[in-house]
Each structure stands twice: as structure tokens, then as C-alpha cells.
Structure 1
Amino acid sequence: MNENSYLDPEAIKKSCTGASKKLKSNNDEILAAETAVKDFLNNSELQGQAFENVRIQMEDYSMILRTMRAANCSDISDFNTLSGSVGDEELDGA
């Protein structure tokens, strides 16, 4: 830390909370997309080789969506850790 450094723990906590809320909202949207893909894949009226090819490809997308949600959950956990670790003391290098 130098004389130009400034750390406001309340601002950091607020930023962490905002980022976590955005990631949770993003996870809700991803889950809705996953549900739509599952519903499409489980549609018994759609049959044939072309549908089978699409189903295989969509399963890959489902895995990507799950991975995105897992990454968001990891980021949320990291934001919670940072928010809990930053403390309450304002640090001003001046």
C-alpha cells in the first residue's frame, strides 16, 4: 500500500453483493435454458436420425450450461469469501 492507496471495505462489500446477485440471476436464466433444452429433448413426438443428431448436439450444450452455472457458483462463493474477509477498517495511504 502506498500514499495513493485507499480501501473502503463497505464499497467492496457492496460490489461483492451486487456481483453475487447478478450471477444468481444469470444462473436462474441458465437453468431456464437448461429446462427448455430438456423439454425439447424429451419430446417423444420428435423422432428420426436428424432429431437424434440434434439431440446429441444439444446434450453437449446442456453440459456447457451446467458448467457455466458451476463457474458462477464458484464466483459467488469467492465473492462471499472476499466480502467476509475484507473487514471494517478503512485503509487510507495518505
Structure 2
Amino acid sequence: MVGELSAPGSRLSTERGRSGRTVVDDPSVAHITPLWKGGRGAGTADWLAEHGWRTEIHPLGEVAARYGRAVVGPAHTGFLTAVREGTAAASGR
């Protein structure tokens, strides 16, 4: 399990698709998702929070703006980042 193998302060990031789904849940990329391994789907942020991670959502438009980049069309995607909390109490143990 990622929580058990991650030291406090560890970080991870994943892409998010439309409506808060992860990219794995996005039907427009279904033809390539079988090539990917793992993933929690739409419940990723909740699952991580329940297992001792502090999560944050970063909409694509906001990330692009920070880098001076334009987003073509509606920006329904983005990123989820998480930081492993530093105590056993944070992980529910």
C-alpha cells in the first residue's frame, strides 16, 4: 500500500479528468488506459485523505496560467497532489 511504503512528507501527483474523475475514468482515452497500471479512479482524493495524505486539487487552467500558458478550449482537467502526513495518528492508526 502506498501509505505504508511512504515516509512522512512524501509527495505524489496524478492527473484528473473531467468532473473530478481521474484520466483513467475518461472515456475519450479508453483506448489507451488498459496500457496503464494501477489507479484509484474518481475516489482517489478521498482514498488518499482516508489513508493519511493531505490532498489538493489544481485545475488545469490555474496551473497553465502560473506558467504563462494558454489552455485551448474548456479546461476540465487538472492535477491532484498529495503529501503524506507526518504522524501515525494522521493515517488512522
Decide: shared fold, TM above 0.5: no
Task: Compare the two structures and name the one with the higher strand fraction.
Answer: 2
TM-score band by shorter chain is under 0.3
Give the TM-score taking structure 1 as reference length: 0.26
RCO comparison, higher one (Cα < 8 Å, 6+): 1
Task: Compare the two structures and name the one with the higher helix fraction.
Answer: 1
Give the TM-score taking structure 2 as reference length: 0.26
